Amino acid sequence: MIENLFPDYDVIVVGAGHAGCEAAAAAANLGSKTLLITIDMQKIAQMSCNPAIGGIAKGQLVREIDALGGMSAIITDRSSIQFRMLNLSKGPAMWSPRSQCDRMKFSAEWRSALESIPNLDMLQDNVVRLKVDKDRVVGVVTALGIEFNAKSVVLTNGTFLNGLMHVGKVSFKGGRISEPESHGLTEQLVELGFETGRMKTGTPLRIDGRSVDFSKLVIQYGDETFHKFSYLSDSSVGLKQRPCYIAYTNKEVHDILRTGFTDSPLFNGTIKSIGPRYCPSIETKLDTFSGKDSHHLFLEPEGESTNEYYLNGFSSSLPWDVQLAALRKVEGFENVRIYRPGYAIEYDYFPPTQLYHTLQTKLYSNLFFAGQINGTTGYEEAAAQGLLAGINAHLYTSSKELLTISRSKAYIGVLIDDLVTKGVDEPYRMFTSRAEYRILLRQDNADERLTELGRTIGLVTDERYSTYNKKYSDRDLLVDYIRNYSVKQSQINDFLVEQNLNPLKQGCKLVDVLARPTITINKLCFVLSDLNYFITHNNLSDDVVESAEILLKYSGYIEREKLLVDKFSRLENLKIEGKFDYKNIQNLSTEARQKLEKIQPKTLGQASRISGVSPADISVLLVLMGR
């Protein structure tokens, strides 16, 4: 008899999408012997939809992943072909970084990074079943019949669980175009007691750039000053930067698209699952906004040198000929050729109220879910979950206390708490509006909020920690200088008048000048040679200057929000887990009893955020606690 040819693992991660890659990297870098199993090793961290990372609130998630010691920001910088900071016309709480990426290089960089981790093994296969022994998951079984043993398992199956794709009347199985679906896991998990459901997402057609008349489109360049995602100093490689383009649909386009509605799986009942509200298909837009004659389209390059383009805003499951005929009525696309049509995909997910804040499942303490399996949409949401699941899978196998991140600490905390407390009735997407404390949860200070935590866990390297300490030492140096520097009327008044601001009536501290609208540190450097010399002499970087400016200009708002966090933390710290038999508390509303009984919140704060639990219900619980 041949002995077992594979070792036992501490952590097995199923699926190598954005969640799986972060989970495997985290667990292995923390010291767990880790196995990453994926259907196709040529598609690691594949950008299945748009070739970009970041965006509104999503950029904050990626910065937080980086601050904790994750990989997504570094990989993004190495493959970036355009960087933009969104929402600069608004306050810094709304600023969000976004990077257009070379799709192929992004995947290649992720694979290279994973292959360099000593504790990480990879295998190309399809996991079809979990090995379960009573109340524990003890490993996995693959389609090839190989059995692996593990102390903990992380499922990050993306859209592959019983995936079904649609193009008009044509439907075919798969987890992604030209890739097979995964069958068996859902069925077993249901037998084990898990609740499941179906969701839908989609993607637009891909365009041959050689067939586009770019002169008819609006060009959209990236930021002139090249920024990056990672707080590390050497993360970018300087790929050729490429512009994006804006086009517009019109009434003729819409009329052609509507001819395909009878064959649309969205409208003829073929697709019964729920799609993403905030990233709708073009046919859904026409149905929802029937009185609108034009919609924006964004043409985005797929790489540094390829002719392939992604048409953001034109996601569709209409028949391919309808998609193409309609597109050729868009100005600039009259002779367009496509590489492939858009399609919709349905897949299994598991309502995330079946999880703890650690992303452990409530039924099996050593089984973790991350990514679209939890009902989310987006690379960034998946990667954030994967990082937390990978960390906790490692901590579990090491018999250490598992990590939870609060809503007041990070967007990652908001994401996880929303999922496990409120659940999802459509694919979940992160927005700044979901965070109560977004003035504190800015993209510029994710390292200040989370790097110490990452260091404590063990993911933050000496290099990253040194970079972090220097940044905030430099920041505090500049803040002290500006707070203590006295500026005279003769130094600044002419400049203030040029800025349409009232001149000084007497001298003041420089911080008071900086507090005025439109005034920035960079502008002041052109007027005050002392300030300019201080910054250049101390070699203060742009991100240090930005951090100091935000702290000084918005200090009042920041302090006010910290007081709110302190106030609401009282509810967060009131433990109620295991204290109530909710179904027998008659003073609670029926919906509250049902929801509280199902979710079993750990704290009163979590209970207050459950959909259907009213302030009156919380008051009842407070009374029962003697408060």
Per-residue pLDDT of 32-82, as tens digits, reads 999 999 999 999 999 999 999 999 999 999 999 999 999 999 999 999 999
CA separation for the pair 415, 370 (Å, rounded): 12
Arithmetic mean of pLDDT, 560-589: 85
In this predicted structure, the answer to whether residue 534 has a pLDDT above a threshold of 80 is yes
Instruction: Quote the strand ranges of 433-568, DSSP E.
Output: 486-487, 508-509
CA separation for the pair 140, 186 (Å, rounded): 14
How many residues are present in the chain?
627
**Ranges of H-type helices in 7-160:** 18-29, 58-68, 72-78, 103-115
Lowest-pLDDT choice from 262-266, 477-481, 499-503, 522-526: 262-266
Arithmetic mean of pLDDT, 183-209: 95
Arithmetic mean of pLDDT, 96-110: 97
Share of the chain above pLDDT 90, in %: 76
Q: Which two tokens stand for residue 306?
A: 């390829």
The torsion angles phi and psi of 318, rounded to 5 degrees, stand at -70, 165
In this predicted structure, the answer to whether residue 29 has a pLDDT above a threshold of 90 is yes
Q: Are 22 and 386 in contact (CB under 8 A)?
A: yes
What are the pLDDT digits (tens) for 359-376? 999 999 999 999 999 999
Question: What's the pLDDT band for 603 if we cut at 50, 70, 90?
Answer: confident
Per-residue DSSP letter, 422: I
In this predicted structure, the answer to whether residue 3 has a pLDDT above a threshold of 70 is no
Arithmetic mean of pLDDT, 199-219: 96
Maximum Cα–Cα distance across the chain: 93
CA separation for the pair 74, 566 (Å, rounded): 34
Average pLDDT in the chain: 93
The CA-atom distances, in angstroms, between 223 and each of 83, 86, 122, 220 are: 6, 10, 38, 10
CA separation for the pair 142, 15 (Å, rounded): 12
- The helix/strand/coil state of 42 is helix
Q: Are 601 and 477 in contact (CB under 8 A)?
A: no
pLDDT confidence of residue 626: 75
In this predicted structure, the answer to whether residue 530 has a pLDDT above a threshold of 60 is yes
- First-to-last alpha carbon distance for the chain, in angstroms, is 66
Q: Using alpha carbons only, how large is the chain's radius of gyration in Å?
A: 26
> Does residue 579 or residue 329 have the better pLDDT?
329
pLDDT confidence of residue 2: 57
From the list 372, 443, 418, 355, the residue with the least C-alpha distance to 65 is: 443
In this predicted structure, the answer to whether residue 567 has a pLDDT above a threshold of 70 is yes
Burial class (CB in 10 A: 0-12, 13-18, 19+), 210: exposed
Arithmetic mean of pLDDT, 322-331: 97
Arithmetic mean of pLDDT, 530-550: 95
Q: Which two tokens stand for residue 264?
A: 């649309």
207: which strand partners?
Answer: 309, 338
Q: Which two tokens stand for residue 366?
A: 């050593």
The answer to whether the Cα torsion of 135, 136, 142, 148 is positive or negative is negative
Q: Are 281 and 271 in contact (CB under 8 A)?
A: no
The torsion angles phi and psi of 342, rounded to 5 degrees, stand at -75, 160
From the list 440, 448, 391, the residue with the least C-alpha distance to 416 is: 391
The torsion angles phi and psi of 337, rounded to 5 degrees, stand at -115, 150
CA separation for the pair 583, 577 (Å, rounded): 14
Burial class (CB in 10 A: 0-12, 13-18, 19+), 222: buried
CA separation for the pair 123, 231 (Å, rounded): 32
From the list 91, 175, 87, the residue with the least C-alpha distance to 127 is: 175
In this predicted structure, the answer to whether residue 608 has a pLDDT above a threshold of 90 is no
Instruction: Please report, for the chain, how many H helices and E strands are present, in that order.
Output: 21, 21
CA separation for the pair 111, 115 (Å, rounded): 6
The answer to whether the Cα torsion of 250, 252, 256, 259 is positive or negative is positive
pLDDT confidence of residue 35: 98
pLDDT confidence of residue 246: 98
In this predicted structure, the answer to whether residue 278 has a pLDDT above a threshold of 80 is no
Question: What's the pLDDT band for 23 if we cut at 50, 70, 90?
Answer: very high
